[in-house]
Amino acid sequence: MTGTKLNINMLPKVRGKYKIAEPLRQYTWLNVGGPAEVMFFPEDEEDLRNFLLNKPQNSEVFVIGGGSNLLVRDGGIAGFVIKLTGAEFAKKTLQDNILYCGAGCLNFSLKQVVVENGLGGLEFLCSIPGTIGGALRSNAGCFGGDISKVLEYARVMNKNGEILTVKAEDFHFGYRSSDFPPDWIILGVGLRFEKTDVVEVQNKVAENDEYRRTHQPQGIRTAGSTFKNPEGNAAWKLIKQCGGDVMQFGGAKMSEKHCNFLQNDGTATAADIEKLCDKIANAVKQQTGIELELEIKKVGQE
């Protein structure tokens, strides 16, 4: 990112904190990418509202969750990058058959409340990387479940600082996608569950964890599934069939354990990763006629 377009003397007064030219690689699982022009960590919902109402006009805003499926380009992100780390954004409450989770909750952190309270139907969420807010935007899922199947409602804040409660049907969910207005910021979600025997839920969570340990790479810089599965097919099979499993670009390659998991060996740039994805997608298109679609999201400037 070249130069600073924002006048930092015009930043609204907040109770949270700002960081200028903050490297974003440390906030993503792929560990690549340039800086945020200005990064903002709001203290709570009211602090976020005050910021939105008083920030410089026409300045861009991007919200980053857990960074588990995000490819930030090497030029970084202009404008503001918001990360919801305040305690209010991580709260969890149970009422009747609804679990409310703040958007900043890490999905892994749901394991304790799901198991201890026997929250059947939410076991799959406990093994999805990232935050619940990010999971909603992408309709994340695994093991036969996804957000669309358990979402009751979401609380969001629009660009005018207004808080809206939105029902699940208004998101028009698709496979790993949702019809989500770009200027909405997710504050939290209400998730339906079925009261289930604690031991049964515990066993299901443990079974899911074991599957991931056995079949997916662990302890490496990756972002989960790189490409979406085409209808009636599996991305990893197409990648392997076309030789994408052994392709490499700089420090970027596909995992030997699962070739739909892109891996940074510690030296990759965002450009390396993007070029490898393009190379693999082109090979699959040329040999099979199938167009692979990225599951990871590319953001920022080259």
Catalytic residue positions? 176, 225, 295
> Which H or E run includes 294?
none
Tell me which residue of 63, 68, 100 sits closest to 85, measured CA to CA: 63
Taking residue 266's Cβ as centre, other Cβ atoms within 10 Å add up to: 9
Structure tokens at 298: 């590319």
Tell me how far CA of residue 10 lies from CA of 5, 50, 51, 282, 301, in angstroms.
11, 14, 11, 45, 24
For residues 232 and 18, what is the distance between their CA atoms, to the nearest angstrom?
Answer: 46
Q: What helix, strand, coil percent values describe the chain, rounded to 5?
A: 30, 30, 40
Give me 123's structure tokens. 């076991």
**Across-strand partners of 146?**
141
Structure tokens at 262: 């892109």
Residues in CB range of 189: below 8 A, 6 or more apart? 100, 101, 103, 132, 133, 136, 147, 151, 153, 154, 155
Tokens of residue 184, six digits: 């909405």
